[in-house]
Structure formats: structure tokens, C-alpha cells
Chains A and B, each alone.
Chain A
């Protein structure tokens, strides 16, 4: 009975449930209809990109027209064909649209590149402030690599080149900057400075007038322009000869600091014309100074002859003078004859070998006066030895020794400075057989200098590590000299037989 009642109750509940459900459903229907009516308008969603490789082609990237192939015979077309650009295009294809969403990502990429370039520029600017021009240039290089169409990077690099006196590069950079932004005053000013220093005054003044057009109140530019105008006016054709000056801040008007020949006053030589006087002064005539000239030629015009290495010796200023004048003058004379022409019509092609000026004449000049050169060097060497100090290591020794090669007096004197007992510590493992031979010859030929100490020296050399190997290289003449030396020692230095025998043994006599 209870069960039946319960089932009935349950059934009734179920029906009730269903009824409420149905009313719910009706309410829901009404609500959905209302909701649906409200549903309109665009629905924007940030969707992830399309899957698979195909998606790379699909995005916004505009369809490229199939490029017309250039026929092999079509030479004019090939002439116009920009290989760099084609390569770049291919490169870009690789990196470009790979990053999924065409236009968007390309934009993002550009943005990123710009950011990076900007960062490089900032770094470059800090280097400029520290006057580290090379570092700054490399920074700007990177910036330009990243973003090729920003005038600022070119102009800044131009400044660095200007500071480094790479005037041609400075000019071309400024030109590039101006191509990108023709109203870039700083670039104009920098180019003007570069051009002025390159000697193209007309172009420089043109640039400056441009600056003044853009900025009529630019005092610096006005001043610079005036300076150039005066130079152009006073010198005319000579203007080109303006030598390279020291770098000047680009903001300051560049007043040529280099003294023009005219200004040089040499009242002591009234007979010579001003121009000549200047040349004399320049080439150091009448003075005990060797003039080092800058190279004024573009690299491709310079001599192709290999450079000669000429040892540069340090000469103390005060002590060199006395013996010099005769030899000195001689060389200068030769040089003078050669260079007279140069200084007159400047950057002509005769400067060649002067280009890299060294202390002594070189190349063809040597042929002209070989004896003079020799004289110089010998005089210098002997006098140098007087200033020498005993070497403390083999490197020091060798550098001096090589330089004295063949000048036995000097070598003897130098060797004399060395304490026999210190020989092993000076040379250690670095003693060469040629040096040993030289020393033997020195000891032999300048016996008087070393009287009483020959045995000590020989013993010193023999105690160098691995001397036995060196002894094997001794020539017959060396050994003969050694024998006489040892004989000498025996007689004049009262060396014992034992010592002599020991040395003989060591030198393998």
C-alpha cells in the first residue's frame, strides 16, 4: 500500500518537475529570442594564426606579380638589373613573412629594427661624447645596416669621419644624409667643413649658403662662409693647396690654422721670394730638423714600390746636434731638389716617395747619395753607443746588436758594457750562433778593449744553457780566432791550463 502511494507520489513529482521544466523552457525561449535580437554588430576576436605552412603565403602579403624573366640576350635589361636589390629581396622573403601574420609582423619587425638602430645610435653618440671616433663609427655602421633610410645616422657617422680627418668619407656620408633629408642643416654644415678642408671652397660655400637659406641666423655658418670667401678672394687658384689642418669642431667656423706660406717671415733671407722661402722652411733648409710630410695623394696614385723598412732609433734631442750638420745638410739638399716642384704646384705626382717620410732618405734618393746615408748612420751609431746601457735581456741585446751589425767598434763597445758573469742570465736560451761568432770576432779584433777579460767572456758565453749545441755551429775561422784568443789569454791573463783546457773543451777545439 505504502509502495503504491510512494510510486504515485513519485510520478506526481516527476510530472511537476516536467511542468516546471516546461515553463522554464518557455521562459528560456523568450529570453533567447530577446538575446538573439540583441545580437548584431561586428564581433572582433583576436584569433591565432592559420595553421600549417600554407599560412605563410596566405596572410596579407600582397600577391606578387610573377616577375618577368630577363632574357639572356637582353643586355640593356641586365644592365639595369639591380643584383643587390634582388639578393635583398630573396633574403627578405626568407625572413619576412615567416612570422605568421603578414603585414602586422612586418610592421613589428620594422619597429624592432628601428628600435635596435636607435639603440646603436645612442651608443654611438656616447662614444662621440667620449671622442672615441672609431667605436662611434662602428655603432653608426650597425645602425645604418639596420635602418638604411635615416639621415641622422649618416650625418653622425659623417661627423666622426670628419673628426678622424677622413674627409672624403665624411663628405659622402653627409651627401647621403642630405639625399635622405635635404634640409638637414647639420649635415650641410659638416659637408661644408669637409669640403673646405678638402679644398673645394666653392662647394663648401655653396653648402653654407644653403645653410643660411634654411637658418638665416646661423652665426657659425655665416662666419665660416666669410672665412671661405676671404680665402677664395685672397688666394684664388692657390686655395686648393690648403694643407690638411687639424680637426676643428664643426660648429666653430674653421679659420685655417695652418699658416700660409705668405705669412712666414724669414727676414734673414731677403733674396729669395716668399714662396721659395716658405718651401725652404718647409723642407727644413737651414735647420736641423727633418720635416715629415703628410701624404696628400689618394691611395691609387701613390707609389706602388714596396715600402722600405728603416730602423727608427731614438735620439735624445740635446745630444744629436753637434756632429750632424754636414751629413744632414747633404740629404736635405737632395731632398730639396726633388721636392722643390711639389711645394710649388702641390699635390702633383712627384711626392711619391716622400709620402711616407722617414728619417733618412729612401729609394731613389739613396742612389743619389749612398755615401751620405752611410755616413749618417755610422755617425749616429757610434754616438748612440755612448748612450747605451748594458742590456738586461736577450731581446734588448738583439735589437741593439742587429742595428750595429758590421760596425765592429760599436759592437765591441756595446759588448764591453756587458758583465761577463751576467751573460748566462741575459741570454738564457736565446743566444744565437751568429751572435757567438760575432762576439768571437769582436773579442778577436778588438783584443785591446777586452784585455784581461777575454777568458771571462768566453767562459761566460760557454756557460749559457745548451751552449754545446751552439758550439757545433762555430766555423773554422771562428775556431781559429778562438785558439789565438785562448793563446792570448794564457799569456797575458795568466789563466791556468785547466781553465784554458776547459774552455777548449767547451768550444770543441
Chain B
């Protein structure tokens, strides 16, 4: 059956069965060898490289100062508790465990009792939350959902954005279109064009917003800039879809990083905005990457709408994977249920992680040669990445001549940098910039 030519010739056309041989041949030729995912391809090349000085700046996963992945100590403690008492392995509901849903709602929308507007929305049953297969899974579910029920298929995404955003949205039947975000030649946010490109759009599109630590540029909007963008969103009746993969990585404090969510809650509470959606995951901020722990939340217009939306989410998810994996969500629940020790421990561990990233960022900046190249943008960017502005040619030279592996858009995952390799890396960059 994977041998299209032979099989299709052998197909026995039958009355009543639509069988368009030529259409299928074309279809097959459309999908010869799907290209490997760029980021993961880089990891594979890195693994094969025998240079002892090699550096992997590809994958967006945290590494400590020794270049090793970490297990948050609070996570390990939560797992100890689970190991000792866990008896229940049964399925959760299709949208996950209620307790997990409530934790997400309270943590993000109610800002742990610091967001009165969000609290009101929760109280009025205007937030529907479903556990998902981490961030990608949440994006996929909301994309399929919007494709089914939202009036408009166009989704505006920042240029640049995480490559998989575009792939997921397209695959679900939405039509992604870029809005201006970042000007590589200036290594800065392109705010005027950002506003202009949104203003020129028709009403009613979906708009993707990165809550913080914009991927890949690391360049976020200020509160003032968000207000201006939200004004456009209101006047254009856009549907905001917020992606929050790095909550906590901007300031070190997950409560400080959700300014956009608080503003959106305020707008909804004041009836200036009807609805929005949020994708989030605990992949980065709790280090639960492989456990696939995340959620989708939809802020709705009424509790009646919530009921309908929840039932449709269930109908949508059931044929894809039935119910979400529980190990990661149980860790989250265990940590949040222990407000007096595990929760504060996790928060301080997260803060320490982010402060290491900031230290490394400054050290890289210090070691870079600023005579021919302005590196000031490094200090403005936040989160797991530096968006260097290096050209694809320069990135390839770094790979071939220095065994420094990064994506060709010049995005460096800075957690791959540490005290032992920061000077080597800076020197390599200085050399490719100079020549």
C-alpha cells in the first residue's frame, strides 16, 4: 500500500466507489520525504560531533552550569510522595483531572488570589480548562476547535514565531499570516510596523500573542506597548490566543510574567473583550518536558457558553488521544497542594534557574567584541533564548568551524552556555562576525 504506482494500477475500480487514480498519485508525490524538524536535526548532528568543545544551542530545554538537564528538587520530592502513596492509575476524564484544572485556573487567571477580575471570571464559570499534551497539544486542540467553530480561519502570528506554530495551525485548517514583530537588521522590536500591520487587517481574525519570553526573539512588549496592541485588538475585534510556554522565565517570578493575562482579564471583566484563549505548559518552568503537561483555557462569554465549549472540547479530544497523561499533572498537583513548602520551594528553584540564565547572558555580552557589532539587544531580550541577529551563513560557520550548533535563524538557547564554555563561544562568535 505504500507503493503507490503499483498498487493504484492494481486497484479494482468498482461501481459506486469514487477512485481518482491521478489525484492519488499527485497526493503521494506531494509527500515524498517529510523534512526533519530543524531543531531536532541540529541535536542529532550535535550528538554525532566528536569535538570535545562542541556546544548545543539548539533545543529550548534548560541545562545547568555543568551542561546537564536538571530535575527540580521540588519535583523530585513530589515524585517521592507519589511513589509512596500512589495507588490510582486510572484514566482521568477526557479534559483531565478537575483538581489540575482548578490549579491552573487559580494559578494563572486568579494569580493565586491577586487578580480580582480573573477570580470573578472563575466564579462566574466563564473559564473552561482542559489538560492537554503539553504546549503543542494545547495549540493543536485550540486550533482544531477554532477551525470548527470560529467564524474566521485567519490567524495572525508574529514574524518570526516558533516554526511549529505555523505547522500546527495550518494542519488544523487555519490560515496563518504574519504580522510585523521584529526587525532583524536593527535587532529590535519593530513596534510601529507591528501596529500598522495589525491595523491593516480585516476585523475578526485570530491573533497569536506570546505572553512572555517571545520565541525565538526573546523580545517582549512593555506594559504600555501591550495596551496599545490591546486597543487595536478591541477595535478590530480580534480573537486573542495567548501562548505561554515560558511563564516565569522573564522575571524569575511566574506571577510577574502574566501581565498580559491580567490585562485581558480586566478587559473581559469590563466587557471590552468577549473571549480569549490561553495555551500554557509546565514543560519549562517545572522541567516536565517529556511528561507532556499543559493546558488549554478558554475564557467564555457566559457559563452557558462554557458548558457548550467544554462538551465540544471533549468531543474533539476523544478521537485524538482519549485522555491526557497523568504523571506530570500529578506532580503539578502535589506541588500546588503543598502551599507551605513544596510550592515556595519550586518558586525559588525557578527563580534560581532564571537568574543563572541572566548571569550567562551578561557574561556572554561581556565577552563579545562590541567594536564592530552592537550587542545591546542581548540585554533587552528575556528568557531561554538570545536572538543574535547572526546570518544563516554565520551560524553555519559556527557549526562547521567551531562545533557550535544553533538554528539558522540565529536563535541561541542560552542554557547551553555555562562558565566553562562562554569564553570559547564568545570568541567563536567574534571570529565569524569579524571575518
User: Do A and B actually bind?
Assistant: no
